[in-house]
A = this chain, B = another copy of it.
Amino acid sequence: MAAGLDSLGQCLERYLPAEQLEEVKRILYGEHVRPLDLPSVATSAAAERNFELLGYGFQAEPEQLRQPRVVRVGLIQNKIPLPTSALVAEQVAALHKRIEEIVEVAAMCKVNVVCFQEAWTMPFAFCTREKLPWTEYAESAEDGPTTRFCQKLAKKHNMVVVSPILERDDVHGGTLWNTAVVISNSGAVLGKSRKNHIPRIGDFNESTYYMEGDRGHPVFQTQFGKIAVNICFGRHHPLNWLMYSLNGAEIIFNPSATIGKLSESMWPIEARNAAIANHCFTCAINRVGTELYPNPFTSGDGGEAHHDLGHFYGSSYVASPDGSRTPELSRTQDGLLVAEMDLNLCRQVGDKWNFKMTGRYEMYAKELAAAVQPNFVPNIIHE
C-alpha cells in the first residue's frame, strides 16, 4: 500500500516562498513554537541508527512567584523490526533493542519523560482476529519483562517512561487490558492507566481482546509534572481528555495506532483540540509502517482478503495549550520528537482563556445524567 507524502511540513517548506510559508505556518501551527538546538552527538546517533530526530520548544512568560518548570518530553514512533511471523520472544527482544537505542538518543537530548507507541512490544495484530500467537505478547503491568526493561531504562537515564503494553491481569481472571505503565525516573512503577474507549470500527477488532478501562482517569505526579495517558481511541472522546485534565494533568500522552485511509484528516485535529480545550499539553504518537500478517483476512467492506491493516502514518506531534503545535514526525520513518515546554504555560493560558471557569460542568453533569436515562426526551423544538 502506497504511503504517500513523507511529511506535510517538509512539503510546505520546499514549495512555498518564505513570506507565504511564514503566514501558512502561523495559521496551521500557531506562532509559539521554535526549533530546539539539539546536541550534534544526538543528531549523528539518530542518523546512524536510521531514525528521524526533531526538536521544538514552547515558551511561557516569566512569573514572580513560580520558577519556570521546563520539561523535555520524547515521543517515539517506530516500525516493527522483524516480520510478524518471527518468534514472539524474538520480536519482543528486537523491539526492546530498537527502543533502547532510540531512548539513548532521547537521553542525549535531555529528555525527562518518554512515551512509546500503543502496544509497543508487538505488531498491532488485532486486525487478524486470531488469538495465538498474539495474546502471548501480553505481560504483567507490574512485573512483566517489559516493565522490568523500562525500569532499567528509567533509572539509567533518570527518565520517566510511559510504556503502553498489552496487559495480562492474572489477579483478575487472567483478562487482557490495553494499558500504559508509568515508571518513575527512580525506576519505581508509579502505576498504570487503562484504555477507556475501545474501537468498534473496521479491522480494529480490539473489543474481542479486551474491555473498556476500569481505572477512571488517573494522573501521575512525577518529578517533571503531572502526566496522564489517554490511549488511542480515547482521543475521539473529548470527555476522556477533560477528566484527565480535571484531575490535574499538565501533559496528556496519546499513544496510538491508526491508519491513513481511516483517520488521517482527523489526526491533526483531535489531540490539538484537547490541548486547547483543556489548557494542557498533548502528545499524539502514532505507529509507522505497514505490518504484514501470515494469514489473509477480510475487512467487512466487500473487498478481497489481504495481509495488512493499512499504513500507519506516524506523524506524531505535540500540541500546546495556546493552540500552537510542533510539525509532525515523518509519515514513513521511525522517529523521535523532542519537545521542550514550560509547564507554567498551562495555568497562564487557563487564566487567559478561562475555559475551566466558564465550563458549567454542573449543568453538563445533570444533562448527561438525564441523556442516558431510558426515558430521555431530546430537547427538540417543532414548528
Contact = CB atoms under 8 A, between A and B. Distances in A.
Given A201-B353, A236-B353, A5 B23 contact: yes
A277 interface: yes
- Interface of A, secondary structure class, is mixed
Contacts of A182: 381
Contact of A20 (B11, B190, B268): B11
Contact of A276 (B198, B218, B266): B266
A74 to B, nearest CB: 20
A236 B276 contact: yes
B383 A190 contact: yes
Interface in A79-111: none
A200 B354 contact: yes
Contacts of A233: 358
A242 interface: yes
Copies held by the complex:
2
Interface residues of A, number: 88
Contact of A277 (B17, B190, B238): B238
Contacts of A27: 5, 8, 264-265, 268
Contacts of A364: 239, 243, 368
Contacts of A31: 265
Nearest to A355: B236
A349 to B, nearest CB: 10
A337 interface: no
A371 B379 contact: no
B367 A265 contact: no
A239 B17 CA distance: 40
Given A15-B15, A15-B17, A378-B248, A357 B200 contact: yes
Contacts of A26: 4, 264-265
A359 interface: yes
Interface string A345-370: 00000001111011111111111110
B380 A265 contact: no
Contacts of A24: 5, 8, 11-12
Contacts of A276: 236, 266, 269-270
Contact of A217 (B197, B239, B248, B379): B379
A363 to B, nearest CB: 8
A172 interface: no
A237 B186 contact: no
Interface in A3-36: 4-5, 8, 11-12, 15-17, 20, 23-24, 26-31
Contacts of A29: 265
A66 interface: no
Contacts of A20: 5, 11, 15
A226 interface: yes
Interface in A258-276: 263-266, 268-270, 272-273, 276
Given A238-B277, A265-B26, A381 B191 contact: yes
A208 interface: no
B354 A361 contact: no
A360 B212 CA distance: 9
Interface of A: 4-5, 8, 11-12, 15-17, 20, 23-24, 26-31, 182, 184, 186, 188, 190-191, 196-202, 212, 216-222, 226, 233, 236-239, 242-243, 246-248, 263-266, 268-270, 272-273, 276-277, 323-325, 352-355, 357-369, 371-372, 378-383
